[in-house]
Amino acid sequence: MNSKKFFFELIKSKNNYRLGKIHTKRGIINTPAFMPVGTLGTIKSIFTDDILKTGTEVILGNTYHLFLRPGIEILNKFGGLHKYMNWQKPILTDSGGFQIMSLSKFTKIDKEKGAFFSSHIDGKKFLLSPEKSIEIQKKINSDILMVLDECPKLTVDKKIISSAIDISTHWAKRSKIAFGKSSTKALFGIVQGGIFKDLRHESLEKLIDINFDGYAMGGLAVGETQDQMLKTLEDTTYLMPKNKPRYLMGVGTPSDIVGAVKNGIDMFDCVMPTRSGRTGLAFTWEGKINLRNSKFKNDKSPLDRKCKINNLNKYSKSYLNHLINTNEILASMLISLHNVNFYQEFMKKIRESIKTGTFEAFYKKNINKYN
């Protein structure tokens, strides 16, 4: 029987990489962990039951999108997103801050009031405050909530990033108050600071003073190089509390992930497995495969002979090439499921390699394979 109390159990660590377990009331999340992105309450083109078959232990829901559609009133009637989408394992929700920055044509940040934005759907104006973001996430009934932060676009202007840290810290304090106390749910703070070591340290120090259940690295995967991202992690994660989970938001390729694990990260999310699946790009142990390529037209081999989920190992690359080039919906379904399964197999191999002391070799083999 799983404990209903939220806590992080560090099982093994060497250098900066770690093996652990996040205990939640809806089940254990083995770390390092990858969270498929369920933006609108669905992992695109994949049945919920099939996501379970991949060994996925936690998914991500998007506060911004769920707030706009289907709307909080409907989710509240169902008792939250778990029942609405028929997913009984843990859910982490982001705060909506990144989408406000990336999707809205109109955004105005007010330190005291919050973020004013226009819906990317119909242009309707909204205000998202730190308190409102927490309220929405509570009605979604997520297990891990994120504070609202200002996520600036990639810039080398330290004044812009310093201002974002100031606002984000203020919002983090208000988010913590709005969250209140809970033994079964968690609230994570989000470290900003761009690629500047001193600003990252400043942001992290302020968040540690507030005392969160976990700490996320935000403001990365916004256009910087992989080397810049990994150096930022190396410069920051060693200062993070060792007894709490560390989450890198919005990352990434398998190579990004293995590099981030080496630098102390425990949790990841990214739309890449399903977004790539919809365009015919598959992730395999040999690397990335573009199934639109005509060289696969007569290829009888499957993407992965060992993957028996929904008989995926019985579909040839030739058939998948045909499906993707004729815009058949089944192409998205099969390749996306394959990709999510591959990502979870990849995470499982990472965990096994840390456990057996072979992670360094696994890292060297995969750090550049998927770039």
Closest to 129 (Cα-Cα) out of 141, 144, 146, 111 = 111
CA-angle at 303, arms to 298 and 306, nearest 5°: 130
Are residues 116 and 105 in contact, defined by beta-carbon separation less than 8 angstroms? no
| Alpha helices, DSSP H, located in the chain | 48-53, 63-68, 72-77, 81-85, 97-103, 130-140, 158-179, 197-210, 226-236, 254-262, 272-279, 317-325, 329-356, 359-366
Map tokens 């995470």 to a residue.
Answer: 347
Q: Which of 149, 266, 269, 304 is catalytic?
A: 269
Q: Which of 94, 143, 149, 266 is catalytic?
A: 94
Q: What share of the chain is helix, strand, coil (3-state, %, to 5)?
A: 45, 20, 35
Q: Which residues contact 156 (CB under 8 A, 6 or more apart)?
A: 194
**What's the rounded Cα separation, in Å, for the pair 92 and 30?**
14
Are residues 22 and 28 in contact, defined by beta-carbon separation less than 8 angstroms? yes
Are residues 60 and 92 in contact, defined by beta-carbon separation less than 8 angstroms? yes
Is 269 annotated as catalytic?
Answer: yes
Is 149 annotated as catalytic?
Answer: no
Residue 271 CA to its chain's centroid (Å): 8
Q: Which residues contact 300 (CB under 8 A, 6 or more apart)?
A: 316, 317, 318
| DSSP summary character for residue 264 | T
Q: Which residues are catalytic?
A: 94, 269
